[in-house]
């Protein structure tokens, strides 16, 4: 009998549906915990974990065969030695596109319409025009990272009349809503064309500080930078120097380096910067949790029926 630990913030009425996915397969017993309530003692005899838990109890799971994350990002769990070689790691890629892309679109428009700056004026009870604004219609939007979230955002930007350039790590078929598609080796040549650079890259060595000061200075004067992928994809020192020189029109960061952003970091007080606390990809949108539970249920069915799992992470590259 397989012992499966479920660490998802699900309701009682969702449990029967999830367990039903294992019906007809190998017999299972289920242990439920909150995501932050799992301790090493809980891992005794556990063969599968569904949900993202801390690394300490994972290291104590001597019988673990499968770890299903409730996140899309898997880089925190690919460190050498954390998981035995035989453990299959899967993520929740595909569950977060709607929530994160809508957040990105909201911050893009807020920057272009200066809503964040008007918000500061409202706090100060100031009634004053702040000058010209811009539009997504006919703007050039470079989407850096064209996975599920990037495709969602690209489709939204295209629907609002933007010319969308996609840049991804590996070659692939170009979606209809992307006018141009390139790989990372073409990034430098494309940055200067974009009115908006929207980043949704995963973590890992290949993406660490991919937007360093040199690349930030390749961006168009007055362009907007959006990052909802990993904070480490932008060099924070370089970003501050570029902002100090007045190159960028605005920046929206849902992820930062480090996290949480220290209270004394000057980015908090920069009127061109929108900062949100890594909230776009949480379970704050009900549809996100529904999608995660559905994905986990499908993989549970596959696991108990001996079928190949979906969304297997390549632990060598972190996605």
Residue written as tokens 């120097």?
241
Tell me the C-alpha distance between 229 and 209, whole Å: 12
Which residues are the active-site residues? 230, 259, 278
CA distances (Å), origin 158, targets 99, 113, 166, 178, 263: 17, 18, 11, 7, 36
At 234, list the tokens. 């932008």
Rg of the Cα trace of the chain?
A: 21
The tokens for 53 are 């838990």
Give the Cβ contact number of residue 48 at 10 Å. 24
Q: How many CB atoms lie within 10 A of CB 284?
A: 11
Burial (CB count <10 Å: 0-12, 13-18, 19+), residue 247: middle
H, E, C per residue of 37-76: CCCHHHHCCCCEEECCCCHHHHHCCCCCCEEECCCCCCHH
Q: How many residues does the chain have?
A: 319
Residue ranges of alpha helices (H) inside the chain are 15-20, 55-59, 97-113, 115-123, 148-159, 187-191, 213-216, 236-244, 286-304
Which residue, chain included where needed, has tokens 């500080």? Answer: 209
CA-to-CA distance for 167 and 146, rounded, in angstroms? 7
């Amino acid at each position: 009998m397989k012992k499966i630990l479920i660490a998802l913030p699900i309701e009682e009425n969702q449990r029967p549906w999830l367990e039903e996915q294992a019906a007809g397969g190998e017999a299972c017993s289920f242990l439920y915990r909150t995501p932050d309530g799992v301790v090493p003692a809980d891992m005794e005899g556990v063969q599968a974990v569904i949900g993202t838990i801390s690394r300490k109890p994972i290291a104590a799971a001597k019988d673990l065969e499968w770890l299903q994350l409730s996140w899309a990002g898997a880089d925190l769990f690919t460190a050498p030695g954390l998981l035995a070689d035989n453990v299959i790691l899967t993520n929740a890629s595909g569950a977060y596109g709607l929530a994160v892309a809508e957040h990105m679109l909201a911050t893009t428009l807020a920057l272009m319409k200066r809503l964040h700056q008007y918000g500061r004026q409202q706090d100060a009870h100031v009634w004053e025009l702040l000058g010209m604004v811009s539009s997504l219609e006919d703007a050039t939007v470079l989407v850096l990272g064209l996975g599920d979230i990037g495709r969602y955002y690209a489709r939204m930007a295209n629907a609002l009349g933007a010319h969308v350039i996609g840049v991804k790590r590996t070659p692939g078929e170009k979606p209809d809503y992307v006018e141009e598609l390139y790989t990372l080796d073409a990034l430098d040549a494309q940055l200067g064309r974009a009115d908006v650079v929207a980043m949704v890259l995963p973590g890992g060595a290949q993406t660490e500080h991919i937007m360093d000061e040199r690349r930030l200075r390749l961006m168009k004067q007055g362009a907007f930078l959006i990052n909802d992928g990993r904070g480490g994809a932008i060099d924070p020192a370089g970003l501050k120097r570029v902002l100090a020189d007045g190159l960028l029109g605005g920046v929206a960061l849902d992820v930062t380096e480090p996290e949480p952003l220290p209270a004394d970091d000057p980015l908090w007080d920069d009127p061109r910067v929108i900062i949100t606390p890594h909230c776009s990809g949480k379970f704050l949108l009900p549809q996100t949790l529904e999608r995660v539970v559905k994905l986990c249920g499908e993989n549970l069915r596959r696991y108990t029926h001996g079928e190949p799992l979906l969304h297997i992470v390549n632990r060598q590259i972190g996605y």
